[in-house]
Chains A and B, each alone.
Chain A
């Protein structure tokens, strides 16, 4: 029954997608708004149908309907209800259902947003989104359909992969990631619409600005949650392995961030038009590349879903996007001439361009590193690996340069700055950097630490100084309190202050990451029951093993007490565990973490259980990881900053010049 409902609703949704695309285009070309309206309604219906399909699968999972191959492979009677629900997106076919759900949601949201007033390009943008939906619906109906049935219904399912039912983060990471990836479809669709219709002014960027920032926020959260999952669940003590699938999720984020900055240059000066269109086509193409590499069984990865025959389909779609998008940009080249040039290197535009260049270098580096094994095999037939050492070494210097630009960018006005004005603004940040560097050097930190944290202090001070400057201006102008001044300043210029908060979040995260990279340490210890072993500056005592039987697994929990070596006081009791699933070759370890807070010096104490010999002896990996907590905090601050930047402003009455088309009324005033 669920199979029938699911397949039927998806098939109807596909028909609606085809209809919607056709109707939107026909309606636009023949100037018949009612036809376009029908396309809009089709968008709502498509979304509703995809919701039904998702609910059908959910019902099958919760109802233990093992006649569906997907349910039999990814769920079992013993699986807890929460993880049964999560099985909806824990494997390839099911996550494709989720992908379609989010895509349908964005389609309906765009249809809703422009239900009354809409730009000329709207029908075309809708058509593009319908076409993209159609592709993913074909995929979910075709070779990798989750609603495939088995000839004979097994009595019980195999259950989810152990790693995917170990932690509730499995609930949040994929949805946020998808909301991020798929969110970039909206600016892409409007960009393509602009190229098709020839209306290549900035309207397409302004219309979709909030959508782009929203997608960026979701993607940032998704990436940070992925890192958190890797750290808290996988038990290797790290948070980012430069795994190919992690990399392909990072690529659209890098290019999307570049895009968010360069649109501001186009909005103000009318420059970088080809650049911006290329960036959004590139960002969307990177999301498609991501699905291709993840699901097309091209690269071996901890994430890659196995054995898929849809590789050629994804590749064809990616090729279409690349050739179509960049082809049209090249075709419209003449209409995209810049209206101005950069006046001097010492201007905000130039710094934004520098930001873009560096982000693109990072994108290119990560892309080449990820794809290189493929190239090597094609050319030489041999297999090579490109892993963490390569990526860390090649991204760190560029990232530091980017950090520097992040500091000086907001200090520079648009168009041109006088060097003396800039130097004045640089004073406080330079002092902050110098003091930090001196303190660190005096306490014996290495050269790298001095430079990195000095730079971080510089950027943090510059960013805060900018915020203070704006608030002070409000206070002086209106004679209001600090609180009200903050509110007024932010209200005048959401984007600027949101962006500054995002930069602060970035700095916090960078400090955390660098600190961990420079100062983390670990060792493997074997401890007998009640024995005390000294490791990494702490005393560790193994206090015994408890076993817990659960329906789907057996859990062995070891108690590891961490003691202060000088006083003998208990610092924390860590309880790393091993989870034994019947279907797994090795037990899956769950680490136990004491999170660093400002009260304990921001140091994570992390233990994972390697082996146990009953109650008598156990082997642990014990990590001392400073600064990791700052990564999570930084991520949260970045998301918050993004929300501030995207916050809707009050709609204004029509200006004397006449009704404003679908563009932002308020422009930023630089302080």
Chain B
């Protein structure tokens, strides 16, 4: 049926567009950045040790401010973002990273949303395509009751 094919096509197109947007959004900002922006970017990936769940870039706590200073000092000294991250990991453990690093078990949380989305779409397709023994034209009991109710409604004034 061309109607159903075109519906799936519309859906596929929508997903493609959104996926594109998502990819764009998660890509980092290329090009030249100021020192402040670089400190912010590194800090945004590190967890503030004292304030729980805020990044070093966001946290208003004093220690976070001192860590930002530390990041800035190291950037000025020419160290790369990976080296700076390693510096913190060596001292605080992988816990200091706000996103789990993508290796070993930690791939699980990264995989889950994608797998979930694929599984969800598959479920949707499966449920929508499921054919019942009856044809599409029949009326269910629920609908029958509803039709009766609405007929009764129509008979009433106003």
A-to-B contact residues, CB < 8 Å? 202, 234-238, 241-244, 266-270, 300-302, 338-346, 350, 353-354, 357-358, 360-361, 364-365, 368-369, 372, 375-376, 379-380, 382-390, 393-398, 400-401, 404, 416, 418-419, 446-448, 451-452, 523-524, 586, 589, 608, 610, 621, 652-653, 655-657, 660, 665-667, 669
Contact = CB atoms under 8 A, between A and B. Distances in A.
Given A266-B142, A364-B112, 18 more contacts: A202-B142, A236-B54, A241-B53, A267-B142, A340-B143, A341-B132, A342-B128, A360-B120, A364-B113, A368-B109, A376-B100, A384-B94, A387-B47, A390-B109, A396-B25, A419-B3, A446-B24, A610-B60
B124 A396 contact: no
B153 A655 contact: yes
Nearest to B58: A236
A300 B53 CA distance: 9
Given A267-B142, A341-B130, A376-B106, A656 B7 contact: no
A448 B6 contact: no
Contacts of B96: 385
Contacts of A365: 112-113, 116
Contacts of A390: 98-100, 109-110
B20 interface: yes
B7 A345 contact: yes
B3 A354 contact: no
B116 A382 contact: no
Nearest to B106: A384
B52 A302 contact: yes
Contact of B94 (A345, A383, A608, A669): A383
Contact of B52 (A301, A376, A379): A301
A544 B16 CA distance: 54
B120 A357 contact: yes
A243 B98 CA distance: 11
Contact of B98 (A344, A385, A416, A586): A385
Interface of B: 1-4, 6-8, 11, 14-15, 17-22, 24-26, 36, 44-45, 47, 51-55, 58-62, 65, 93-101, 104-106, 108-110, 112-113, 116-117, 120-121, 123-124, 127-132, 134, 136, 140-143, 146, 148-150, 152-153, 155-156
7 contacts: A236-B60, A353-B128, A375-B105, A380-B105, A401-B14, A523-B36, A608-B60
Given A357-B120, A383-B93, A270 B132 contact: no
A353 B127 contact: yes
B156 A397 contact: no
Contacts of A341: 130-132
A364 B119 CA distance: 12
B99 A387 contact: yes
A301 B128 contact: no
| 3 pairs of A and B residues whose beta carbons are closest in the complex | A397-B22, A387-B98, A270-B142
A380 B104 CA distance: 10
A270 B152 contact: no
**Which one of B11, B94, B113 has the greatest number of beta carbons of chain A within 10 Å?**
B113
Nearest to A244: B53
B113 A394 contact: yes
B105 A376 contact: yes
Contacts of B17: 451
B150 A379 contact: no
Contacts of B55: 387-388
A404 B14 contact: yes
A457 B15 CA distance: 18
A656 B100 contact: no
Contact of B156 (A236, A339, A653): A653
A238 B143 contact: no
Contacts of A610: 60, 65
B3 A346 contact: yes
B24 A448 contact: yes
A397 B19 contact: yes
Contacts of A339: 140-142
Contacts of B136: 343, 416
A429 to B, nearest CB: 13
Nearest to A344: B4
Contact of A383 (B51, B95, B155): B95
Nearest to B26: A393
A357 B124 contact: yes
B100 to A, nearest CB: 5
Contacts of B120: 357-358, 360-361
A386 B98 CA distance: 6
Contact of A346 (B4, B19, B21, B156): B4
A400 B21 contact: yes
Given A386-B99, A656-B155, A665-B149, A235 B60 contact: yes
Contacts of B121: 357
Contacts of B51: 302
Contact of B152 (A353, A369, A388, A657): A657
B117 to A, nearest CB: 5
Contacts of B54: 236, 241
Contacts of A202: 142
A300 B59 CA distance: 16
B133 to A, nearest CB: 10
A243 B142 contact: no
Contacts of A346: 3-4, 7
Contacts of A586: 61-62
A215 B100 CA distance: 35
B152 A448 contact: no
A589 B60 contact: yes
Contact of B141 (A270, A372, A660): A270
B156 A652 contact: yes
Contact of B95 (A236, A357, A385, A660): A385
A161 B15 CA distance: 46
Contacts of A358: 120
B152 A656 contact: yes
B124 A353 contact: yes
Contact of B100 (A237, A360, A372): A372
A302 B58 CA distance: 14
Contacts of B153: 652, 655, 665-666
A398 B140 contact: no
A339 B133 CA distance: 11
